[in-house]
Amino acid sequence: MRAATYNRAVQPSDPGGSFRDLTIEDFAGRLASSDPVPGGGSASAVAAALGASLVSMVASLTTGRPKYAEHEPMLGWAAETGRRLSERFLDIADADAEAYGGYAVALKMPRDSEVEIEARATAMQAAARRASEVPFSCIEACLELVQAAEALAGRSNPNASSDVEVAALLGEAAARGAAANVMINLPSTGDAELEGQLTRRVMELLAAIDDLTSQTHQVVGSGDRREPLDPAGRA
């Protein structure tokens, strides 16, 4: 739902709090309530955080095993990437709620004169831009997530191969959820050039993410071992 269509609460949890401070049960309860934050953007980011944590888990389960010694550089890279992205996604979950908060504030601005109407419209466009940029950053981070998952496929403990695939699938789902928020908020920015640029970039990122997720699925399904990557964890 486009941010312009309804008002909703701003704070992600208690004033000054963060979604990361909630238990899983509490977050799910908030998500199921009539309180519109957290919403789909925050839920997408939290799902991606779980996927990133799975990447770190699989890398950690494989590190130190002689059978996978040739993959140690990649495993170290994947573990660090997963930890970094997990934190990043949790930050994005809060930022998504805060971005809507800015829009809610703008929506309530007075409009009793031409000057006030113009000021309100300008503030709403700026807030809509932020509400597009935050989920866009989530999509960019999701690409990193599925890259790490794909790197682990066929190069990590086979007992955790399904976890690698789940990580990629969560990244893909989160990216598509974030993309929905980008696309629904962009028209309210009033910036046709930005709308065109971000739309093209979103489509490019989703295509890359879909391809990597598909590759991960194929490798996991085959059960084949793969050659090592370079020390940076990339092909």
Residue 6: φ, ψ to 5°:
-160, 160
Domain ranges of the chain: 36-222
* Nearest alpha carbon to residue 93 among 19, 169, 144, 199: 19
Instruction: Assign 234 a pLDDT band (cuts: 50, 70, 90).
Output: low
For the segment 67-101, what is each residue's pLDDT rounded down to a tens digit? 999 999 999 999 999 999 999 999 999 999 999 88
In this model, does residue 14 exceed pLDDT 90? Answer: no
Q: Three-state SS for 157? A: coil
- Neighbouring CB atoms inside 10 A of 227's CB total 9
For the segment 35-49, what is each residue's pLDDT rounded down to a tens digit? 777 889 999 999 999
For the segment 18-37, what is each residue's pLDDT rounded down to a tens digit? 999 999 999 999 999 887 77
Q: Three-state SS for 11? A: coil
Handedness of CA 163, 165, 167, 173 (dihedral sign): negative
Note the pLDDT of residue 233.
46
For the segment 194-214, what is each residue's pLDDT rounded down to a tens digit? 999 999 999 999 999 999 999
- How does the average pLDDT of the chain come out, rounded? 90
CATH code, 36-222: 1.20.120.680
